[in-house]
Structure 1
Amino acid sequence: MTKVALVTGATQGLGLALAEGLAHRMSTEDTVYLTGRDIDRVTQAVDTVPSGGARVRGEILDVANPEAADRLARQLNERHGGVDIVFNNAVMRVGPDDDPRAIVDRYTEVNNFGTTRMLRAFAPLLRDNGRLIVVASSFGRLHYLAPALHDRFANLSSLDDVDKQVAAWRDAVRDGSARSGAWPGFVNIPSKIGQVAAVRTLAEQRREDDAERGILLAAVCPGMMNTPTSAMWWDVSTAPTPAQAAVALLDLALDPVRPQHYGQLVRDGEVLPWSPTSM
């Protein structure tokens, strides 16, 4: 059976490297969907992918649009009868000079609600031995959250519950109350924790069936990369390029499943502990 892969946020950086890597390592009979919000950038990105591997098709997908993920999922199901690999990589980046109160609405729509939309839309479409991987960060662990806030994201029962907790944090950032509470000032931390919590929550619901079908649902940390956005925060002059960072993520998607990865946050093939007590 020919395989179908999808990468969100794939017009540049890590997303483009993932699409290129999938196309290179998959069969010429397979299809890789390279997606993004802007048709011109999607078209340009598709044109940059070297030929000779899987077919690369561009599609418009804005994960911040509440209907977009479901719409594309229906289209791909009609075309292919399911999907085999999904990388949820779309992200809104934030810089040191951005006011969290001004950007938090769009930020959570893309990074968090976009993630749960993708999980809801594409997890049911995974074929046997499929992979659904959310690109997150090592910041997405309870280690980086005050203990008083751990219960907000631990042991949630549904993606709706995850969305409610993210919305509560978003509202606290927007009205300024987060500053006087225990929330960290760096919005990336609660956002990434929300992403990993979403993966963990869905994994608990699907674990038994996915194990029988060889499916992997996981979050992944690509590590520090040499990108313009990262350079606004840190010295990344010696950090890997997106193409180099993509290798471990592609291995996770294409190599045989390691059961210990299921529902976890993985970096370079190793599971990062969710909480200090899980070390």
Structure 2
Amino acid sequence: MTIALVTGATQGLGLALAEGLAQRLRPTDTVYLTGRDIGKITEAVRSVPGGGAEVRGELLDVADPGAAAKLAAQLEERHGDVDIVFGNAVMRVGPGDDPPAIIDAYTEVSNFGTTRLLKAFAPLLADTGRLIVVASSLGTLRQLAPVLHRRFTEPSTLDELDAQIARWRDEVKDGRAKAGAWPGFVNIPSKIGQVAAVRVLAAERRETDLARGVLIAAACPGMINTPTSALWWDVSTAPTPAQAATALLDLALGPLDPAHHGELVRHGEVVPFS
């Protein structure tokens, strides 16, 4: 029996991932569709076509410091371990959002929420398990001034990386980031932080993970035609969430490529971090 979980799964890519897993898995398998609004969770679960794996809704607000660990403990009690985890929860930002005003909430979801998920669910991964954080090609050091690279390359633990994210957050809030070398688009440092978190965790576990057939990776789905993306770019010809989910589902359900471990992967190819 396969147990899968998707965060941020009530709409867009997250919902497409939950639907895709349900379609590809067996009726004896279970997909946990999670989000922070019970009404939206219930609606999303009802929208998933039948005939595949069982889809179960669960509350999970990754911005809540204890929520990921609590759900992980519940799933461990029910199933013993977990086979597939997609970390897709992210706070959306628009062109009109003021970075100092939104940076607290943004980092709680997109960055600290990611590290909480990694800490909670990596220990539960079954043999041949997959833990994939949905990130972006913006999450590479080429998007960042060289003077800032060490903020994301020197941390060797998730706690150390969280401290660097908190430092950046505080610099955004008090104006130092705007006056310095940081890009104005907060999505860039945040995505770099997500990929760095995957790299840090994977480095700690690489030998054991590969021996067990386990993959921990970040994944770039590419541009997607969603209302949020349309605020920033022309996405009229971009893939739908369902189309964009295909490569990520292949990564989760296909054979392990050791070269993908700890890396950002786009359409089966590694996107170099530096």
Q: Tell me the TM-score range normalised by the shorter chain.
A: over 0.9
Matched, 1:146 2:156: no
Any idea what SS the aligned residue of 1:85 has? strand
| CA deviation map 1:250-269 (0-9, x unaligned) | 00000001111000000000
Paired letter, 2:44 = A
Moved over 2 A (4+): none
Task: Write out aligned runs for 1:48-67 (5 A).
Answer: 48-67=47-66
Task: Report the equivalent of 2:221.
Answer: 222
Write the distance in 2 (CA, Å) between the matches of 1:184 and 1:143.
Answer: 12
| CA deviation map 1:95-136 (0-9, x unaligned) | 000000000000000000000000000000000000000000
Q: CA deviation at 1:70?
A: 0.3
Task: Report the equivalent of 2:103.
Answer: 104
Matched, 1:31 2:49: no
Write the distance in 1 (CA, Å) between the matches of 2:260 and 2:214.
Answer: 11
Task: Report the equivalent of 2:42.
Answer: 43
CA RMSD of aligned residues (A): 0.4
| CA deviation map 1:196-247 (0-9, x unaligned) | 0000000000000001100000000000000000000000000000000000
Write the distance in 1 (CA, Å) between the matches of 2:156 and 2:240.
Answer: 37
Q: CA deviation at 1:155?
A: 3.8
CA contact (8 A) 1:155 1:201 kept: no
Write the distance in 2 (CA, Å) between the matches of 1:262 and 1:30.
Answer: 25
Paired letter, 1:14 = L
Q: 5+ unaligned residues in a row in structure 1: which ranges?
A: none
Q: TM-score, normalised by structure 1?
A: 0.98
Write the distance in 1 (CA, Å) between the matches of 2:4 and 2:148.
Answer: 36
Write the distance in 2 (CA, Å) between the matches of 1:209 and 1:87.
Answer: 21
Task: Report the equivalent of 1:240.
Answer: 239
Write the distance in 1 (CA, Å) between the matches of 2:194 and 2:245.
Answer: 19
Task: Report the equivalent of 1:77.
Answer: 76
Paired letter, 2:22 = A
Write the distance in 1 (CA, Å) between the matches of 2:54 and 2:161.
Answer: 35
Q: 5+ unaligned residues in a row in structure 2: which ranges?
A: none
Aligned residue-pair number: 274
| CA deviation map 1:44-70 (0-9, x unaligned) | 000000000000000000000000000
Q: CA deviation at 1:156?
A: 1.9
Q: CA deviation at 1:73?
A: 0.1
Write the distance in 1 (CA, Å) between the matches of 2:154 and 2:126.
Answer: 27
Deviates more, 1:47-56 or 1:153-162: 153-162
Q: CA deviation at 1:165?
A: 0.6
Q: TM-score, normalised by structure 2?
A: 1.00
Paired letter, 1:16 = L
Paired letter, 2:100 = R
Task: Report the equivalent of 1:114.
Answer: 113
